[in-house]
């Protein structure tokens, strides 16, 4: 078997393994990316998963490791490879099974075109590798076992989200009984605050619609060609906004709610994922881009950029 054939098989295996897990959850009416918010988490707060050096995971790997942490009861958000644990003088406990994460990149290959010229072509690839939660590892420095804590009282965290939304510059109108983003008017429409059952629901919904706001042509120019409610294009965009909002809620310390009006999308998402095993990867990548876009509109991000 050639290296090219082996790479193709490995890539397909990663797509298949991840997609089958998401499909299994959806068939039970459970959204993998919302699992952390619907169980009792021993640490009291859901964190973005971290690498051994403190760097946050991104996109698809957030979903994978959230699912693993909840299924296996891990409260520590830090993960590392067998080799990294060994380099820290620790060891994975006997009998422990690792968790799948994925790595995507491109390789550059020089080819000769029809005119006899050498041209470079970028070839995307993806591979899976195994990581272990710190709770599966013995002998690590104590800092790796520290439980996550709530850094601010809830009221301060919510006030911070008000500032976050304001800093995006998005126009938000309040009134009516529908939460949505209007592309033609480039506004976010939200029911009044008092219409929501609690403040977390209000802010989680506002962040969801803010993710939709990023799709405008003069922002991220994200277009799945949705023509009507419930079709594949609309369902893909809703999936992106759901994932993006989940990422942002974790960043901002909010416990989001599953919106009842999105239950209708479960069947559509299942259809999409069964037809296209890359769909969840694409949605997670778009969601991470939406979250990044909104995060980069915040003053601290702009200050860092100016100082660079």
Residues 107 and 105: their CA atoms lie apart, in Å, by: 7
Average of pLDDT values for 271-298? 95
CA 20 to chain centre: 17
Residues 257 and 209: their CA atoms lie apart, in Å, by: 14
**Residue ranges of domains in the chain:** 3-145, 154-307
User: Six-digit token pair at 126?
Assistant: 């993806």
Average of pLDDT values for 50-69? 92
Strand-pair category, 187-190 with 172-174: parallel
Q: Is the pLDDT of residue 305 over 80?
A: no
DSSP 117-153: -EEEEEEEEEEEEEEEEGGGEES--GGGGPPP---S-
Q: Is the pLDDT of residue 6 over 60?
A: no
- pLDDT for position 13: 76
pLDDT digits (tens, 9 = 90+) for 130-159: 999 999 999 999 889 876 555 566 676 688
pLDDT digits (tens, 9 = 90+) for 175-215: 888 899 999 999 999 998 888 888 888 999 999 999 999 99
Q: With contact defined as beta carbons under 8 Å apart, do 128 and 116 qualify?
A: no
256: left (phi over 0), alpha (psi -120 to 50) or beta: beta
Helix, strand, coil % in the chain, rounded to nearest 5: 50, 15, 35
Percent of the chain having pLDDT more than 90?
50
Q: Categorize the per-residue pLDDT at 1 as very low, low, confident or very high, splitting at 50, 70 and 90.
A: very low
User: Six-digit token pair at 37?
Assistant: 């918010």
pLDDT digits (tens, 9 = 90+) for 161-175: 999 999 999 999 998
pLDDT digits (tens, 9 = 90+) for 24-45: 888 888 787 876 555 444 344 5
CA 298 to chain centre: 19
Q: At what angle do helices 279-295 and 265-275 cross, to 10 degrees?
A: 120
Q: Categorize the per-residue pLDDT at 113 as very low, low, confident or very high, splitting at 50, 70 and 90.
A: confident
- pLDDT for position 151: 56
Q: Categorize the per-residue pLDDT at 273 as very low, low, confident or very high, splitting at 50, 70 and 90.
A: very high
Average of pLDDT values for 264-292? 93
Beta carbons within 10 angstroms of residue 40's beta carbon: 5
Residues 226 and 301: their CA atoms lie apart, in Å, by: 32
Q: Is the pLDDT of residue 307 over 70?
A: no
């Amino acid at each position: 078997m050639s290296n090219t054939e082996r790479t193709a098989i490995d890539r397909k295996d990663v797509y298949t393994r991840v997609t089958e897990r998401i499909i299994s959850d959806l068939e039970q009416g459970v959204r993998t990316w919302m699992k952390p918010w619907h169980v009792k988490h021993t640490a009291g707060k859901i964190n973005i998963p971290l690498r051994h050096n403190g760097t946050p995971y991104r996109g698809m790997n957030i979903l994978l490791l959230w699912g693993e942490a909840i299924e296996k009861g891990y409260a520590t958000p830090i993960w590392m490879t067998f080799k990294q644990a060994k380099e820290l003088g620790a060891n994975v406990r006997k009998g422990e099974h690792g968790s799948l994460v994925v790595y995507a990149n491109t390789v550059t290959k020089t080819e000769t075109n029809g005119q006899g010229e050498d041209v470079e072509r970028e070839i995307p690839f993806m591979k899976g590798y195994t990581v272990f939660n710190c709770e599966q590892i013995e002998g690590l420095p104590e800092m790796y076992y520290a439980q996550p804590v709530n850094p601010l009282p809830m009221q301060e965290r919510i006030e911070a989200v008000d500032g976050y939304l304001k800093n995006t510059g998005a126009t938000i109108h309040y009134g009516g009984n529908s939460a949505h983003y209007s592309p033609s008017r480039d506004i976010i429409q939200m029911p009044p605050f008092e219409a929501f059952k609690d403040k977390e629901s209000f802010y989680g919904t506002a962040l969801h619609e803010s993710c939709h706001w990023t799709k405008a042509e003069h922002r991220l120019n994200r277009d799945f060609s949705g023509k009507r409610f419930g079709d594949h294009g609309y369902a893909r965009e809703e999936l992106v906004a759901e994932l993006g909002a989940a990422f942002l809620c974790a960043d901002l310390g909010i416990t989001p709610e599953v919106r009842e009006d999105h239950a209708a999308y479960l069947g559509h998402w299942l259809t999409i994922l069964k037809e296209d095993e890359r769909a969840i990867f694409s949605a997670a990548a778009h969601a991470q881009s939406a979250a990044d876009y909104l995060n980069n509109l915040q003053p601290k991000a702009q200050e860092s950029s100016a100082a660079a």
